[in-house]
Amino acid sequence: MSELPLSGRIALVTGASRGIGAATAKALAAAGAHVVLTARNVKELEGVEDAIHDAGGMSTIAPMDLAESDSIGRLSQALAQRWDKLDIMVINAAMLPTLTPVTQIDGKQFNQALTLNVLATQALLAAFDPLLKRSKHGRIIGLTSSVGSQPRAFWGAYGATKAAFENLLLSYGHEVGRISDTRVAILDPGATRTAMRARAYPGEDPQSVKPPEAVAAQIMAMLTDDFANLALRTVETSA
C-alpha cells in the first residue's frame, strides 16, 4: 500500500468544530496528517475527532478561545513539546459582525472581530513561526473573503478585518519566503454552505451553494500539488 500524501505531517486547523474547518480537518487526517483541532465548542470538536478516528485518522483536540491572549502561546508550547514542528496551519476561524452601514458599526462587535480575525492571526504567526521553520515543508493557508479586497455596502466591518488579515499573512510570507521553506497562501472559498453564510444570507437556499467539503478538497489539492509562496486562490462558487 502506498504511503498517504500527508503521512507524518502535523497540521493545525483553527475553527475546526464545523463547516470548512471541520471538513478540512477530516480531509487532512484522511490524507495521513495528525490534525490538531481548535475551536471553542468542545462537544462539536469531539464530534469531529470521533469522525476522524472512526475513519482511521489521527487527531488531537485543543479546545480554546483564540481571542484569549495566552491561549495561543500555551498551544504552541504544547505542540513543541510533543512534535517540535508544525507542517501545516489552516487559519479558518473568523467572526462576522452584524452587517450594517459603516456609520452604525457596533464598537464591541468590531473589536471582537478585530481580535479574532486580525490580532489572533498575528499571534498565531508569532507563536508558530519557529515550529513552521523547523518543518521541511511549512505551509500556511488563510481563509479570506472577497470583501477584504472588494469593499461592499454593509460589509465594512468584516471586510476591514479581512483586508488586515490578508496584509498580515502576505507580509509574513514576504518575510519568511527567502529565509525558510515556509510558504503562505490565501484562499477565498466563495459562497459556501456554512453557519456564517446562513447568518449573512438568511433567505438563501443552502443547497444553492457548494458544501464545505468542496473547499476542503481545494485545500488538499493545494497541499498535495504544493503552491508557490504568496499564492492567491479562489474556489469556484458553483454548488
For residues 140 and 143, what is the distance between their CA atoms, to the nearest angstrom? Answer: 10
Between CA 187 and CA 105 the distance in angstroms is: 26
Cα 123 from Cα 1, distance rounded (Å)? 40
Residue 81 CA to residue 61 CA, distance in Å, equals 16
CA 46, CA 205: separation in Å to the nearest integer? 28
Residue 17: CB atoms within 10 Å? 25
Q: Which residues are catalytic?
A: 158
**DSSP per-residue string spanning 16-62:** TTSHHHHHHHHHHHHTT-EEEEEES-HHHHHHHHHHHHHTT-EEEEE
In the numeric block, which cell numbers belong to residue 59?
Answer: 487527531
User: Across-strand partners of 139?
Assistant: 88, 183
Are the C-beta atoms of 184 and 142 separated by less than 8 Å? yes
Q: Which three cell numbers stand for residue 11?
A: 497540521
